[in-house]
Amino acid sequence: MQNLSRKKFLQYTASAGAAVLISSLESWAKSIPQKKLKVAVIGCGSVSNRYLPQLLSSKLIEVVSLCDIKYDRALAQNRQYNVNAHTYPNVEAMLAGVPFDMMVTLTDMQAHEDLNRKALMAGKHVWSEKPMANTYAAGKALLSLARSKNLRLWGAPAVVNSPQFEFMSKTIQAGTLGRIASAHGQYGHTGPTWSAFFYEKGGGSMPDLGVYNMATLTGLLGPAKAIMAMTSIVNPERTVDDKGKIKVEAEDNAHLLLEHDKGIISHVMCGFNYFDPHGHEAGTQSLHSIQVYGDKANMRLIGYDWETNGVVLDNSWTEPAKLLSTDKGGYEWQEGARVTGESIVNGTEPRINVEHALHVLEIIEAARESSATGKKIMLQSTFKWPMA
């Protein structure tokens, strides 16, 4: 029964009518073969090592195709994870190959927009790693295209899924923090070493790293109305595995000030030059990376919004701060494609929301404009809030 939404259940029982005598709901539900969502993964590099186990763990999803322009990577991932999928060297071949329902886009950031458009045009739902498009306008056009074809489009990250996000959001909504004034988020490490696209035009530390904090802070505090930012390039040259020595073209250092409703101001800092011994493995991080301040209490998220280890709530003049919400409840940052894919099968609506992802994309673009012009930039986009 858990895989059948109430709406579908009611539709089924209504159409089946009294003629269907079922001995028990459970045995009836078991007798319905569950349709699996057929998924195609494009981009078989680093992050596919996180996505594939997630997708393969789902009873509602079948990974039918793998694709990479470095074709040996599609073959290697197919073998390594026993996927038993069809493999393709480009998106056109994959779209013309075995049928599937949803494409999961895990390629270089700059390629997402074009690939997502091609998949939507071909009638596929899309989960995209960030960013879903190279500009906010292009992202909006993709969403219109998806809607015109009755398809779903979603974009990473999945930070709003964590129990810690939910706890913080509910604590804010309950008024525990009093009047909220300020919040801060930070995320950085010394930068990926394997691919040049992170540092090329259309890459950068904002769409790769700051995007998590922007999603968390807007998710907690509501859509931003305006932004001011400064970005810079601290390290103008890098050596990466795929291209050797390269010139850094996209910001590797960024500070953003976001203006939310009711005078709330939040700050995000992110960069590819932050010493952080935890790198991509932060399960033991005991420091906080997100803080929210009100006049009755403050909260600090321990770990990162993508790797949540608990929330410290400080709301007493006499008692020490309390470490709460330490249970991750199975949340993993790489779960977005699985969760949204399963929501299609179940006919349910996940908390992850494409308008929220588009809002973050507009923030990133506006931050670059603000830094280049020295001006405050007004934002247009919004999303359904509160999220939890």
Ligand X SMILES: NC(=O)c1ccc[n+]([C@@H]2O[C@H](COP(=O)([O-])OP(=O)(O)OC[C@H]3O[C@@H](n4cnc5c(N)ncnc54)[C@H](O)[C@@H]3O)[C@@H](O)[C@H]2O)c1
Residues making contact with ligand X (CB under 6 A) = 42-47, 67-70, 73, 90-91, 106-109, 111, 115, 129-130, 194-195, 208, 280
Nearer Cβ to ligand X, position 28 or 127?
127
Q: How far is the CB of 269 from ligand X (least distance, A)?
A: 18
Q: From residue 193, how far is each of 34, 245, 312 by CA, in Å?
A: 42, 11, 33
Block residue for tokens 């909260």? 299
Q: How far is the CB of 116 from ligand X (least distance, A)?
A: 11
Nearer Cβ to ligand X, position 106 or 180?
106
Nearer Cβ to ligand X, position 130 or 184?
130
Q: How far is the CB of 229 from ligand X (least distance, A)?
A: 20
Nearer Cβ to ligand X, position 68 or 101?
68
- Report the C-alpha gap between 296 and 301 in whole angstroms: 17
Nearer Cβ to ligand X, position 108 or 307?
108
φ/ψ of residue 234, rounded to 5: -90, -35
Helix 336-346 and helix 48-56, axial crossing angle in degrees, nearest 10: 30
Q: How far is the CB of 109 from ligand X (least distance, A)?
A: 4
Q: Cβ-closest residue to ligand X?
A: 45
Cβ–Cβ under 8 Å, residues 35 and 345? yes
Q: Following DSSP, what letter does each residue of 119-134 receive, concatenated? A: HHHTT-EEEEPSPSSS
Q: How far is the CB of 215 from ligand X (least distance, A)?
A: 13
Cα 166 from chain centroid (whole Å): 15
Cα 30 from chain centroid (whole Å): 33
Of the candidates 162, 192, 160, which has an alpha carbon nearest to the alpha carbon of residue 357? 160
Nearer Cβ to ligand X, position 109 or 248?
109
Nearer Cβ to ligand X, position 129 or 260?
129
Nearer Cβ to ligand X, position 109 or 313?
109
Q: Is 61 helix (H, G, I), strand (E, B) or coil?
A: strand
Q: Which helix (H) or strand (E) holds 76?
A: helix 71-80
Radius of gyration for the alpha carbons in the chain, expressed in angstroms and rounded:
22
Of the candidates 160, 177, 168, which has an alpha carbon nearest to the alpha carbon of residue 325? 168
- Report the C-alpha gap between 8 and 5 in whole angstroms: 5
Q: What angle is formed at CA 110 by the lines to CA 103 and CA 343, rounded to 5 degrees?
A: 25
Q: How far is the CB of 115 from ligand X (least distance, A)?
A: 6
- Report the C-alpha gap between 298 and 285 in whole angstroms: 20
Nearer Cβ to ligand X, position 101 or 108?
108
Q: How far is the CB of 24 from ligand X (least distance, A)?
A: 44
- Report the C-alpha gap between 46 and 109 in whole angstroms: 13
Q: How far is the CB of 122 from ligand X (least distance, A)?
A: 14
- Report the C-alpha gap between 365 and 135 in whole angstroms: 7
Nearer Cβ to ligand X, position 30 or 280?
280
Q: How far is the CB of 262 from ligand X (least distance, A)?
A: 32
Q: From residue 133, how far is each of 277, 335, 358, 360 by CA, in Å?
A: 31, 20, 9, 11
